[in-house]
Structure 1
Amino acid sequence: MGETIPIAVPRKGRPLESVLDRLASRLDIADLADEISSTLRHEKALTKGTLDASEENVYHRLADYSAVDDPTEPEYTLVRDTRAGKPRRIVFDSVTIPLDDATGLDVPTDDTEIQLVGREEPFRSLRTHEFALGFDSADLVLEEVVELRPDPLDRIADVNARIDPADTDVQVVTGLGDTVYHTLMGSPEAVPSATSLDRDFLAEYDGPLCIEPRYERLVRAVLGTSALEDIEFKYPADGREEEAAIADTGIGVYLTVTGSTAREHGLLLGEQLFPSETVLLESTPEVTTAVRDVRALLNGGDLDTELGVE
């Protein structure tokens, strides 16, 4: 009987889809990955109200989706969503994926299987040594453990250097390339003409900076504490769209993909301060030979990532 290697993964959203895409590119699980992603997108649409929820109630759908007698089929669970009314939302729970030589990789995977296990914050599960491997947003690592220094942090590749080993054994292995950016934005009134909206601008700026509260420590790490000496953080009011709040404040930082929503609010897009990317993490004391083999399967030079960790 082979070994089962559990891997902590997000329960929903872009990071989980990135993990599934990565596995589908290395293993023959394209149908499984598509099934999980499609199910969760459908449930998200029901929770957001963009689809009619008049179909079977959430408990019946949960029973229909989950195959509890076959671990190689996905299982789902319920969580309370943060939206108005806090509706119950179906999210990913677990699935077991056998590995064999059919992977075509130089990794000994005979009789080994991986079990993807959904967690609200996989990074924290690794910090408590519950898992040896996991995937989570690089943002959470910055929000939790990187040292705050006067100088800025502008590359994911430098994150490990700012993790105090006395604080955690978790290290970043690689990124998955699903990159969006924490981007500096400003209204035309707050940015003088012919001025570059970048870190140098912020170094001279004295005033409010609109950010999401959960990103405060991340922004301090990314910009460096020296650049923030004369800056006061402002936060969007509950339920207020972030770009609208930044437009009212004048200057802010928020995640962008295309920047179209920011432009709709009349904002100028400035420097892309830091890449937000799903990363593969490991808890060093928990790494065994089998875990190293699985890590090698998940890692690889084919990844188009902002990360450059050896």
Structure 2
Amino acid sequence: MGERIPIAVPRKGRPLESVLDCLARRLGVTDLADDVSSTLRHEKAITKGTIDPETSDLYHRLATYSNADEPAAPEYTLVRDDRAGKPRRIVFDSVSIPLDDVEPDGRRLLDDLPSGSELVLVGREEPFRALRTHEFALGFDSADLVLEEVVELRPDPIGKIADINARINPTDTDVQVVTGLGDTVYHTLMATPESAPTNEPINRAFIEAYDGPLCITPRYERLVQAVLGTDSLDGINFEYPSAGVEEEQAIADAGVGVYLTVTGSTARNHGLMLGEQLFPSETVLMENAAEVTPESDAIKTLLGGLETETVLMVS
């Protein structure tokens, strides 16, 4: 009898797509990854109102996507979206991936697993918290949430994924970061020309000398404290975007701020100058050390061995 090895994953968005890309590379499940990603992108577009669905019956679409006649087919569920009106949205729920069919470069790492074993992806709104409460041994979530939840605030800043585990107090949680997936966007320091230092970079040294408002997204307050370091925050008061105001516009109004950027084009359109990339917002593989089994350890080794990723801890 094979083993069922559960792993917590996000229900939607860039982090889930990064996980699916990772599994496609290591397990060869490209068709599955493409199917789930395309389905969720389609449903996101429907929720945002950018496309019209073939049927407005949400339950009909849900039943179509979740094909009970195919045991290995992905299943979906409904959640309330954060947008105005709290519309219901179809998101990922679960899927089982047979490990007997793993491509040869990964199969050798799973030789000790009994025949018929399956990796079971289980969707969670907050996978990191599911690991903290010992529901899973392994899971994927944003590194941002780890900083928001358990990374200790210290006078000196934290600047990279590889430093996270050293900032986690083991009395707070058994969860550690194994590796990042490289789907990186950055929490970036930015300022208006009027607030920026003349002929000097917009960086942590600028913040250390700066007194005044710093505009941030409320959910990232503890993260910003961690990546800037508490010593840099003397004389700084946090401000937050008002309802209905874009983050970049709010930063332009305040003069200085921190926000996620990919290309920075939206920030520049608001007259902002981009400064130091403070911390990578990246999907990470995590492990709860108290829940480790030989089976989960084999999966951790398999998924932590991606050639393009920075591995923090792999047995």
TM-score, normalisation: structure 2 = 0.95
Distance, in Å, in 2 between the alignment partners of 1:149 and 1:115 is 38
1:284 pairs with 2:289: yes
Partner-residue secondary structure (3-state), 1:47: helix
Distance, in Å, in 2 between the alignment partners of 1:101 and 1:94 is 19
The equivalent residue for 2:59 is: 59
5 Å-filtered alignment, 1:203-218, equals: 203-218=208-223
Return the offset for 1:41: 0.2
Distance, in Å, in 1 between the alignment partners of 2:189 and 2:229 is 14
Runs of 4+, deviation exceeding 6 Å: none
CA contact (8 A) 2:177 2:312 kept: no
Partner-residue secondary structure (3-state), 1:221: helix
CA contact (8 A) 2:251 2:257 kept: yes
CA contact (8 A) 2:40 2:90 kept: yes
The equivalent residue for 2:165 is: 160
Distance, in Å, in 2 between the alignment partners of 1:234 and 1:89 is 31
Return the offset for 1:28: 2.2
Greater mean deviation of Cα atoms: 90-99 or 236-245: 236-245
The equivalent residue for 1:299 is: 304
Distance, in Å, in 2 between the alignment partners of 1:164 and 1:192 is 37
Q: Structure 2: 5+ residue runs without aligned partners? A: none
Return the offset for 1:101: 6.0
Distance, in Å, in 1 between the alignment partners of 2:135 and 2:207 is 40
Partner-residue secondary structure (3-state), 1:5: strand
The one-letter code matched in structure 1 to 2:8 is A
Return the offset for 1:266: 0.9
The equivalent residue for 1:99 is: 99
Partner-residue secondary structure (3-state), 2:59: helix
The equivalent residue for 1:9 is: 9
The equivalent residue for 2:185 is: 180
The equivalent residue for 2:45 is: 45
Distance, in Å, in 1 between the alignment partners of 2:176 and 2:208 is 31
Distance, in Å, in 1 between the alignment partners of 2:157 and 2:83 is 34
Q: Structure 1: 5+ residue runs without aligned partners? A: none
Partner-residue secondary structure (3-state), 1:64: helix
5 Å-filtered alignment, 1:202-241, equals: 202-241=207-246
Partner-residue secondary structure (3-state), 2:8: strand
1:194 aligns with one of 185, 199, 202: 199
CA contact (8 A) 1:76 1:93 kept: yes
Return the offset for 1:111: 2.5
- Which whole-Å deviations, capped at 9, do the CAs of 1:50-82 have from their partners, x for residues lacking one? 112463321111111002344410000000101
Distance, in Å, in 2 between the alignment partners of 1:5 and 1:258 is 38
What is the Cα-based RMSD across aligned positions, in Å?
Answer: 1.3
Return the offset for 1:246: 0.5
The equivalent residue for 2:134 is: 129
1:144 pairs with 2:149: yes
Distance, in Å, in 2 between the alignment partners of 1:240 and 1:59 is 34
Partner-residue secondary structure (3-state), 2:188: strand
Identity, % of aligned positions: 69
Relative distance call for 1:18 and 1:216 in structure 2 (3 A) is same
Paired residues, what number?
Answer: 309
TM-score, normalisation: structure 1 = 0.97
CA contact (8 A) 1:157 1:309 kept: no
The equivalent residue for 1:89 is: 89
